[in-house]
């Protein structure tokens, strides 16, 4: 009998193949396999074969990075190509405080360990230092940190671990604690002739430019999200001496949950220059310069699978956009999404420049301090002659205005049905298809999501809007440019571009931006004038206000230009005194030509469900209330301005 190749590891299929094999034997030609006790043996053989095949399949899957599912295996496979997954990241807060003291010492030292306790969302979090901080004492006051150079404290607890080196054994240096922030790790090695904690060793992520005297160590993740320290072998890095003492200090953190703390109570300890404990002579008030932020979770399996091969392909050099994406993720763990645009693609071109835009996991903008750190670390990867520039995030918001028709006879609560629709859209808004650079809002998918929320929903009519938020300079003459990256729809009557309200300098009227497409007047065959679009796909940006009768009056006819084809708005020099929206923002929205919206280049796409409009409409035809459809509500709308907000009716 020829060997059977199984394409489907199914229990019944295996059992059938065993029976066919036995029937091929002349002794079992007419044997009744179903009615005899022999069927139990066949089931046992099939079950054993099935389990063996399943285990073999799992083992094969766990041998490849793409198909592995166990973290230990994914990390091990990534290790073979030199990738170390990111650890948890402690939330960092910047603080300052003054310490009243009666000490005669000229210096006061804040000891490493617990510094303060921060509170957020009815929960307290410990904030610590991994190293001592020393400052001078002047007139009975020791000042720790300043507004320009604050003290950075990290959420978590400082722990210390020591190892005694025994070169006669195959020794491993594994830290027992999970949830370690490896960036806070401080390592000292005390040799036989060293004093104190010994010499500090520094962490590296590759063996480039190392020699036999380099005092370095590497780390790797092992079982149960713990970390192992690796030291030099005498060729790449200094080799450990026998009987040396390794001291490791590190912070164990709660990760992302530690973000948000802004109020702190001091809990630290001080010593003077003689290492004698000092008790402050008065209360200590902690001033918060920056609330706790940038805390993150340990790198997920999907992230490891995505970035490990890309960082390996980068080979520690930043050339392509994929190289920058992988490297920035490794040097700035708080990165959620990265956009890298070459200078030759910019308008106008900036040759020799790479423009980088980063969306952090927590928040919208990368701080100036973090920008400098990222650019500094990128220098060791970048090619000579190429300058990197980090620009602030540009968010392209997508909003929808939908009328959801439902059968009232199948709904007990309209509010509950509306909440279900919002929940479904919110889930789609949080997906990676939307929230990223190069993200795409898929109209058909959003419409289907609404229809599938409940069987009571009969249909929906959904319109799409795109929005950019413009930060204005109050009481200053300035020009502005907004790029939407998507073609605008052209309404011959105008009013496709709308904004929230603002006041111009020297006027108390609330005004708005809108567009007026450029047109020409021609004479028809019968001699009547006809106005039509001039075909340039350009328009003028006007400033209008609403009169007491509800009519729109043009205040400034030519305040800028609109490029409908490229989706760009340029605002001429204008002096804005105030805005209706908070934080000096003017929200400018437009109707796109296509319902599928794409975040191009440096635009981060975000589906804003909170500002979308969900209108629940009773379907009187489906419910049987009006079979003829005389009272059926058709979806239509007009545009108007009211109280500084853009209204849709």
**Per-position b or e across 431-470, b if 16+ CB within 10 A of its CB:** eeebbbbebbbbbeebbebbeebbebbbebbbbbbbbbbb
Instruction: Compute the C-alpha angle 535/540/545, nearest 5°.
Output: 140
Do 497 and 488 form a contact (C-beta atoms < 8 A)?
A: yes
340, 343, 363: which is closest to 353 by C-alpha?
Answer: 343
Q: What distance separates the 2 farthest-apart alpha carbons in the chain?
A: 107
pLDDT of 646 reads 41
Do 435 and 429 form a contact (C-beta atoms < 8 A)?
A: yes
**Segments of 309-386 assigned E as strands:** 335-342, 353-360
Instruction: Compute the C-alpha angle 218/247/109, nearest 5°.
Output: 115
Do 204 and 84 form a contact (C-beta atoms < 8 A)?
A: no
Residue 208 confidence (pLDDT) above 80: no
Q: What is the pLDDT of residues 369-400, one digit of tens each?
A: 788 888 888 887 877 777 888 888 888 999 99
Question: How far from chain centre, in Å, is Cα 401?
Answer: 26
Question: How far from chain centre, in Å, is Cα 309?
Answer: 20
Q: What is the pLDDT of residues 279-293, one digit of tens each?
A: 999 999 999 998 898
pLDDT of 35 reads 64
Residue 606 confidence (pLDDT) above 70: yes
pLDDT of 497 reads 87
Q: What is the DSSP string of 477-500?
A: EEEEEEE-SSPBP--TT---EEE-
Report the distance separating Cα 512 and Cα 504, nearest Å.
10
Q: 595 in helix, strand or coil?
A: coil
The CATH number fitting domain 315-392, selected from 3.40.50.620, 3.30.300.200, 2.60.40.2480, 3.40.50.720: 3.30.300.200
**Mean pLDDT across the chain, nearest whole number?**
84
Burial class (CB in 10 A: 0-12, 13-18, 19+), 599: buried
Do 409 and 458 form a contact (C-beta atoms < 8 A)?
A: no
CA dihedral 40, 44, 46, 49 (to 10 degrees): -170
CA dihedral 420, 424, 426, 430 (to 10 degrees): 150
Report the distance separating Cα 338 and Cα 321, nearest Å.
9
Question: What is the pLDDT confidence band of residue 622, given thresholds at 50, 70 and 90?
Answer: confident
Residue 71 confidence (pLDDT) above 70: yes
Structure tokens at 93: 């807060």
Phi and psi of 485, rounded to 5°?
70, 5
pLDDT of 55 reads 77
Residue 637 confidence (pLDDT) above 80: no
What is the CB neighbour count within 10 angstroms for residue 492? 10
| β-pairing verdict for 123-129 and 113-120 | antiparallel
* Mean pLDDT, residues 187-216: 88
Write the CB contacts of 301 (distance below 8 Å, at least 6 apart in sequence): 69, 71, 74
What is the CB neighbour count within 10 angstroms for residue 413? 8
Question: What is the pLDDT confidence band of residue 649, given thresholds at 50, 70 and 90?
Answer: very low
Residue 333 confidence (pLDDT) above 80: no
Residue 174 confidence (pLDDT) above 60: yes
Domain boundaries, the chain: 11-61, 92-156+256-293, 158-252, 315-392, 395-466+614-648, 470-589
* Mean pLDDT, residues 459-487: 90
226, 228, 229: which is closest to 240 by C-alpha?
Answer: 229
Residue 639 confidence (pLDDT) above 60: no
Cis amide linkage into residue 404, ω under 30° from 0: no
Residue 146 confidence (pLDDT) above 80: yes
DSSP structural state of residue 504: E
Q: What is the DSSP string of 1-46?
A: -PPPPPSS--HHHHHHHHHHHHHTSGGGTT--TTTSTHHHHHHHHH
Report the distance separating Cα 600 and Cα 567, nearest Å.
11
**Can you give the pTM of this predicted structure?**
0.65
């Amino acid at each position: 009998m020829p060997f059977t190749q199984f394409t489907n590891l199914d229990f019944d299929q295996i059992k059938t193949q065993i029976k066919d094999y036995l029937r091929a034997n002349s002794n079992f030609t007419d044997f009744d396999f179903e009615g005899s006790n022999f069927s139990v043996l066949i089931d046992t053989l099939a079950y054993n074969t099935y389990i063996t095949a399943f285990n073999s399949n799992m083992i094969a899957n766990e041998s490849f990075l793409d198909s592995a599912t166990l973290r230990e295996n994914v990390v091990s496979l990534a290790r073979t190509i030199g990738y170390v997954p990111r650890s948890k990241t402690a939330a960092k807060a910047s603080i300052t405080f003054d310490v009243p003291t009666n000490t005669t010492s000229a210096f006061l030292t804040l000891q490493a360990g617990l510094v303060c306790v921060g509170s957020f969302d009815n929960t307290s979090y410990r904030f610590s230092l991994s190293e001592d901080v020393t400052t001078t004492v002047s007139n009975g006051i020791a000042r720790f940190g300043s507004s320009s150079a604050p003290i950075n404290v990290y959420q978590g607890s400082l722990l210390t671990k020591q190892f005694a080196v025994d070169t006669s054994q195959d020794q491993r240096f594994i830290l027992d604690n999970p949830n370690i922030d490896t960036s806070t790790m401080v390592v000292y090695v005390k040799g036989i002739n060293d004093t104190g904690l010994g010499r500090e060793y520094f962490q590296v992520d590759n063996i480039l430019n190392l020699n036999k005297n380099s005092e370095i160590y590497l780390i790797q993740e092992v079982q149960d999200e713990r970390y192992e320290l690796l030291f030099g072998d005498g060729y790449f890095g200094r080799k450990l001496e026998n009987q040396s003492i390794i001291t490791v200090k590190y912070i164990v953190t709660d990760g992302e949950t530690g973000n948000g703390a802004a109020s702190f109570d001091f809990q630290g300890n001080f010593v003077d220059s003689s290492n004698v404990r000092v008790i402050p002579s008065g209360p200590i008030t902690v001033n918060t310069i920056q609330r706790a932020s940038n805390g993150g979770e340990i790198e997920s399996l999907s992230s490891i699978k995505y970035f490990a091969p890309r960082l390996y392909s980068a080979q520690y050099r930043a050339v392509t956009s994929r190289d920058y994406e992988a490297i920035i993720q490794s040097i700035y763990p708080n990165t959620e999404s990265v956009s890298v645009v070459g200078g030759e693609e910019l308008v106008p071109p900036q040759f020799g420049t790479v423009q980088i835009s980063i969306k952090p996991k927590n928040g919208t903008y990368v701080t100036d301090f973090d920008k400098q750190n990222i650019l500094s670390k990128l220098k060791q990867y970048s090619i000579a002659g190429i300058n990197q520039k980090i620009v602030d995030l540009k968010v392209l918001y997508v909003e929808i205005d939908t009328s959801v028709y439902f059968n009232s006879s199948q709904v007990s609560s309209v509010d509950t049905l509306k909440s279900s629709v919002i929940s479904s859209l919110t889930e789609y808004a949080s997906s990676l298809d939307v929230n990223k650079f190069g993200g795409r809002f898929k109209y058909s998918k959003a419409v289907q999501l609404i229809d599938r929320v409940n069987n009571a929903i009969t249909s929906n009519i959904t319109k799409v809007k795109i929005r950019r938020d413009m930060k204005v300079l109050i009481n200053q003459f300035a020009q502005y440019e907004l790029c939407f990256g998507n073609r605008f729809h052209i309404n011959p009557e105008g009013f496709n571009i709308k904004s929230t309200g603002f006041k111009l300098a020297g006027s108390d009227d609330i005004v708005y931006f809108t567009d007026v497409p450029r047109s020409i007047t021609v004479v028809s065959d019968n001699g009547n004038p006809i106005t039509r679009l001039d075909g340039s796909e350009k328009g003028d940006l006007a400033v209008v206000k609403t009169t007491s009768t509800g009519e729109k009056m043009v205040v400034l006819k030519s305040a800028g230009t609109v490029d409908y084809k490229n989706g760009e708005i340029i605002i001429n020099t204008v002096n804005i005194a105030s805005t209706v929206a908070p934080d000096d923002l003017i929200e400018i929205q437009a109707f796109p030509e296509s319902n599928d919206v794409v975040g191009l280049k440096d635009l981060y796409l975000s589906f804003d469900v909170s500002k979308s409009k969900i209108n629940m409409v009773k379907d009187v035809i489906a419910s049987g209330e009006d079979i003829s459809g005389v009272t059926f509500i058709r979806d239509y709308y007009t545009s108007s301005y009211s109280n500084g907000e853009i209204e849709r009716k």
